[in-house]
Structure 1
Amino acid sequence: MPTGVAIRDVREQLFDAAERILLRAGPSALTSRAVTTEAGCAKGVLHRHFEDFDAFLAAFVLDRVDRLDARAAALVGSAGAGTVVDNLTDALSALFGSVAVAIVALVSFRDDLRARLRRTWPAGVPVLTEAVAVIDAYLTAERDLGRVSADADVALLAPTLIGTGHLLFADRGAAPPEREAVRRVVASVVAGVLREG
């Protein structure tokens, strides 16, 4: 891109480029040069908007975590409709079919990124801890509606579902699991607490 040409929504353009690289080639391929090349802009553009590359990556991770808000609202809004197992299956498939698994690998891969994220996100990997909160909120809504037993430990079920879901989807070299495989795992985890007809 020639110098002096304004770039619209530069942060989003850079974040989208980072996501494409991360999904295509993994965390080791994610460099400032690769991102700016993918975004079609000069390398200096990234450094005008971010203190350094780890600041860019931290902003990218948190931006992608913020995108879970719409999914969270949709999942909690689905409480009382469909089945609990199907709702959770769809939520896990959507979450882990996105960039979430790659972000977990990225955060694990880069020590400086983890340290920077700890300043604002004190525990866990941001995308996973946020996903646990989403599942917890959904299961709590279903418990309030009586479709999940009143004594269900949603604070235990939510991380169990996220951890198991992550393990199902984590193999970047293989095709994602079939929906039925995800559904079987979900059904097994929540079988003891369902009160649906």
Structure 2
Amino acid sequence: MPTGVHLRDVRRQLFRAAERILLRDGANALTSRAVTAEADVAKGVLHRYFADFDDFLAELVRERIARLRDQAVLLRAAAGTRTVAENVAAALTELFDPVSLALVSLVFFRDEVRARLRRPGDGLPILAEARTMLADYLTAERELGRIAADADADSLALPLIGGGHLLFAGRRGTLPDERELTRIVETVLADVLQRKLL
């Protein structure tokens, strides 16, 4: 490996390699050797920057969570535009990309990674942050009067995340039918969308 490569560049290179493996071969193929081979770096490089492989995986998930926070800012800014259902469906489509889905599975099945990421009272990492993202967006829409004034944004976010996850999970390389996703979103939001008109 060339000298003078910044820590950030090596980390990014390793993270992108891990994402390619997740996309191509799934979470079961993700090993430290596979990552370093995919990144085209020496085997010891990963352990030079991370305490162990679970530390690497936890950081990979944290990076995805940081991207989700960026998405949350954009979604909240979209309040008042298009329809509420369109905004939610678009957010779910972006949220449940193949890498995020693979990372959710990885966190679910790797106890040590989940333990390193968990904060008291939180749910499964990535999905918990996604729930917060949707709840914040729905709160903004409630403040704009586009959903019922008594809508419980946090409770609405839960079935949207659960339904979206079930719809997207297990599809290698294909997206669910857009109409099916829209139907799920509209069903969950039907009451609060109708009652805002009353």
TM norm. shorter chain > 0.5:
yes
Name the aligned partner's letter for residue 128 of structure 1: L
Identity across the alignment (%): 54
Aligned to 1:168: 167
Instruction: Describe the superposition over 1:22-69 as per-residue Cα deviations: whole angstroms up to 9, x where unpaired.
Output: 122111100000001111101111000000000010011011111112
TM-score for the superposition, normalised by structure 1: 0.92
Give, as a single letter, the amino acid of the residue that structure 2 aligns with 1:81. Answer: T
CA 1:15/1:184 → structure 2, altered by over 3 Å: closer, same or farther? same
Matches within 5 A, 1:76-87: 76-87=76-87
State the AA in 1 paired with 2:113.
L
State how far apart, in whole Å, the 2-side matches of 1:27 and 1:110 are. Answer: 10
Q: Is the 8 A contact 1:143 1:150 kept in 2?
A: yes
Bigger relative contact order (CA 8 A; separation at least 6): 1
Unaligned runs of 5+ in 2: none
The CA distance in 2 between the partners of 1:196 and 1:138, in whole Å, is 19
4+ residue runs of structure 1 moved beyond 4 angstroms? none
Change (3 A) 1:23 1:121: farther
Ranges in structure 1 where 5+ consecutive residues have no aligned partner: none
Identify the residue that residue 140 of structure 2 maps to in structure 1.
Answer: 141
* 1:179 corresponds to: 178
Deviation (angstroms), 1:97: 2.2
CA contact (8 A) 1:108 1:114 kept: yes
Using structure 2 for the length normalisation, give the TM-score.
0.92
Superposition CA RMSD, Å:
1.8
Q: 1:73–1:136: structure 2 CA closer, same or farther, 3 Å change rule?
A: same
The SS at the match of 1:126 is coil
2:127 counterpart of 1:128: yes
1:140-182 CA-to-partner distances (Å, cap 9, x unmatched) read: 0000000010111111100110011000001134722022211
